[in-house]
Amino acid sequence: MPYSEKILNRSVDPATQKMLGRAEELDLETAWDRYEKMLPQCGFGELGLCCRICNMGPCRISPFEDTGPQKGICGATADIIVARNLIRMIAGGAAAHSDHGRDLAHTLLLTAQGKSGGYEIKDEIKLSALAREYRIETQGRSKEDIGLDLAESVYAEFGKQEGFVQFSRRAPKKRVELWKKAGIDPRGIDREIVEIMHRTHIGVDNDPVNLILQGLKTSIADGWGGSAIATEISDVLFGTPEPVRSMVNLGVLKHEHVNIIAHGHEPVLSEMIVAAAHDPKLVEQAKACGAAGINVVGMCCTGNEISMRHGIPIAGNFLQQELAVITGAVEAMIVDVQCIMPALGDLCECFHTKFISTSPKAKFPGAIHMEFNEEHAMEIAKEIVGTAVENYANRNKGKVFIPEDTTDCMVGFSAEAIVKALGGTLDPLLDAIKSGAIKGIAGVVGCNNVKIKHDEGHVELVKELIRNNVLVTTTGCNAIAVAKAGLMLPEASAQAGEGLRGVCQALGIPPVLHMGSCVDISRILTVCAAVANALGVDISDLPVAGAAPEWMSEKAVSIGSYVVSSGIFTVLGTVPQVLGSPLVTQILTKTANDVVGAAFAVETDPIKGAGLMIAHMDAKRKALGI
């Protein structure tokens, strides 16, 4: 059916367009409608010129020198206010990802103590490798004893007051020395986050440069600390991903099945939901209710987690969560933390869908709260799945509208899987880069944002990169977007440049490698560090670049900061709230090059953004003489 220009301008994804049309028919509100009601958005806020840190305000600085206030009530200038707002976003993002890592450490601790309700240590090889990094004895010891020592060691990273974050020493020595020289080598994860909150309190740190350096320091504690811990411990507990086939988009929902969506970020919950859905008693109960079976699918980063380990289909990315409910075919939307819209509560009431929250950290209006804990994990997961099964009888089949759109994809390229695909060594990759068959490597990540046509920024930028022989690694909502576009299949190499196409065909891999959820950007850093170490250079010397074409969250601000702090030039596709300060803008886009060897660029046109990344890679290749 033809759709209005308004709908066509909201997304490039056909399933999303169909569901937006369905929402319009049913007079249901989505994020796009709420965005349009918000226009015009506050110009001061978009420039980062608002301050609410104390109750003398809120204060706002005029971007025009000849009119309006140029200082807040306390005397803070635009530079100070913008810098404080920016690093508070970094603190929020680092706290979110690092708390995810803390929860995984807690689960490992309980598992090693024999107190968890169904978890086990699945990757003993990785367990031993991590133990060696922490100088933990492994010879002649059980996996539980090693796991207990490892859990206590990574736990200590959060509250550490002095020293350094252990996984940061995976970075090349030149990078570590640079961090030390700049004063941004992080001590403990929580300490750096707390220090941001202290420094940005009224009357503390009012030097924009000093503030931003603390922001970079905290982001490194996230990327090489909290996020890396989340990734590594997930692999120990649930298995290190290897390439597996999966499917993506809203068509993975099934008409005759109990449909359960696992949405959020932490695999501690979703792993058990997947296991519980295979319980024979629950499957029989579903059939007794008239269903053909139980269909678990993922959404957002939880989708990435369970897809790369089990091949579970992914229903969609961030801006598709409401649309999944509007299909009328979802018995339960099960959520934990991060990127979950509170609008889901009201929306689920328009259908039979149970909106089930599970984390004590995240409760939502209109949700049924079924609190999850690791000690009784399987028991609680079965109760949650049972609630969904019982709800199947309440489905109104006349309201069901599932778009048929699905795409096959290959997911699960952990760092270990990439080395395995290369024959056990990085040499084939290094040779391909040196020969020019692969121009460089790009890490393209991040969210969806209603300010950009859904998925267009992700898909067009990645297409342009692979056309120019750039091997793309991806995580998070970008991974889901490009999977829907068919770019995560070996046959997608037909869209790549001749050099990259030859490498992909020889290895049987896609030109875009799925590396996991948003915390798994630490995998990309690990690969970059390994390549830099193999070549005897710093990460900033490599022909690599990052991009976040549709970013929107505080986590993305922390991610971008630690990627740049690691020496990787990064292009942002939506404009950060810093343009109200020429000084902060200058630091982020130019001066950072002198401090950490990389900087940000902002380019809303995805083709031009890819062009900036390619030009950067060309310059780095020339400097390396390759």
CATH number, domain at 234? 1.20.1270.30
Look at residues 217, 238, 259 and tell me which one is the last residue of a structural domain: 238
- What pLDDT, in 10s, does the model give residues 514-572? 999 999 999 999 999 999 999 999 999 999 999 999 999 999 999 999 999 999 999 99
Q: Residue 302: which domain range?
A: 250-399
- pLDDT for 1: 61
Q: How far apart are CA 320 and CA 47, in angstroms?
A: 28
Strand order in the sheet with 244-248: 368-369, 354-357, 332-335, 258-263, 294-299, 314-316, 244-248, 407-411
Residue 229 sits in the same domain as residue 266: no
| Residues 459 and 594 occupy one common structural domain | yes
**Is the per-residue pLDDT at 12 higher than 70?**
yes
Contacts 24+ apart (CB under 8 A), 121-127: 121/147, 121/236, 121/237, 122/236, 122/237, 122/238, 122/239, 123/235, 123/236, 123/237, 123/239, 123/240, 126/232, 126/235, 126/236, 126/240, 126/416, 127/236
Helix, strand, coil in percent for the chain, rounding step 5 = 55, 10, 35
* pLDDT attached to residue 65: 76
Is the domain of 232 the same as that of 254? no
The beta strands (E) that lie in 211-305 are given as: 244-248, 258-263, 294-299
Kindly report the CA angle at 141 between 135 and 144, in degrees rounded to 5?
Answer: 90
The closest of 602, 552, 544, 593 to 573, measured between CA atoms, is 602
* Domain-embedded: residue 131: yes
- In the three-class reduction of DSSP (H, G, I as helix; E, B as strand; rest coil), residue 619 is classed as helix
> Does residue 188 share a domain with residue 99?
yes
CATH value at residue 385: 3.40.50.2030
Q: What integer best gives the mean pLDDT of the chain?
A: 96
**Whole-number pLDDT of residue 448:** 97
Percent of the chain with pLDDT over 90: 98
Residue 556 lies inside a defined structural domain of this protein? yes
Residue 42, in any domain of the structure: no
Which residue ranges are tagged as binding site? 42, 50-51, 54, 59, 74, 265, 301, 339, 447, 477, 518
Whole-number Å distance between alpha carbons of 269 and 374: 8
- Has residue 324 been placed in a domain? yes
Same domain (yes/no): 201, 291:
no
Same domain for 292 and 175 = no
Q: What is the pLDDT of residue 64?
A: 84
Q: Is 61 domain-assigned?
A: no
- pLDDT value, residue 212: 98
**pLDDT above 90 (res 158):** yes
In this structure, the number of other CB atoms found within 10 A of the CB of residue 362 comes to: 16
3-class DSSP assignment, residue 220: helix
445-460 confidence digits (pLDDT tens)? 999 999 999 999 999 9
Annotated binding site for [4Fe-4S] cluster: 42, 50-51, 54, 59, 74
DSSP 39: P
Whether residue 201 sits in one domain with residue 300: no
For residue range 203-227, what is the model confidence (pLDDT) as tens digits? Answer: 999 999 999 999 999 999 999 999 9
What per-residue confidence (pLDDT) applies to 67? Answer: 83
Peptide bond into 511 cis (omega under 30): no
Q: What is the pLDDT of residue 20?
A: 97
* Known binding-site positions for [Ni-4Fe-4S] cluster: 265, 301, 339, 447, 477, 518
Could you give the CA distance from residue 512 to residue 537 in angstroms, rounded to a whole number?
Answer: 25
CB-CB contact of 323 with 23 (8 Å):
yes
Q: Is residue 18 part of a domain?
A: no
All residues at 6 or more sequence positions from 369 whose CB lies less than 8 Å from its CB, including other chains:
356, 357, 358, 363
Distance CA 147, CA 310 (A): 23
Residue 351 scores a pLDDT above 80: yes
**Does residue 392 share a domain with residue 319?**
yes
Q: Are residues 339 and 425 in the same domain?
A: no
The answer to whether residue 475 scores a pLDDT higher than 90 is yes
Q: What is the residue whose two structure tokens read 């950067």?
A: 616
Same domain, 149 and 275: no
Query: Has residue 294 been placed in a domain?
Result: yes
The two three-digit tokens of residue 120, written as one number: 């086990």
Sheet with 512-514: strands ordered across: 512-514, 470-474, 440-444, 544-548, 569-572, 600-602
Residues 428 and 385 in one domain: no
CA 44-47-52 angle, to 5 degrees, is 60
Predicted TM-score (pTM) of this structure: 0.96
For CA atoms 475, 179, 569, 430, give the dihedral sign.
negative
Residue 213 near residue 188 (C-beta atoms within 8 A)? no
pLDDT tens for residues 61-76? Answer: 998 877 888 999 999 9
Tell me: do 357 and 231 sit in the same domain: no
In 392-497, where does DSSP find H-type helix?
A: 415-421, 427-435, 456-467, 476-484
* pLDDT tens, position by position, 160-206: 999 999 999 999 999 999 999 999 999 999 999 999 999 999 999 99
> What is the β-pairing status of strands 354-357 and 368-369?
parallel
Amino acid at 359: S
The average pLDDT across 253-281 equals 97
Q: Which of these three, 191, 209, 238, is where a domain ends?
A: 238
Single residue among 375, 399, 423 that ends a domain in this structure: 399
Give the angle subtended at the CA of 152 by the CAs of 146 and 153, to the nearest 5°: 85
Domain annotation covers residue 169: yes
pLDDT for res 68: 86
The total number of structural domains that make up the chain: 3
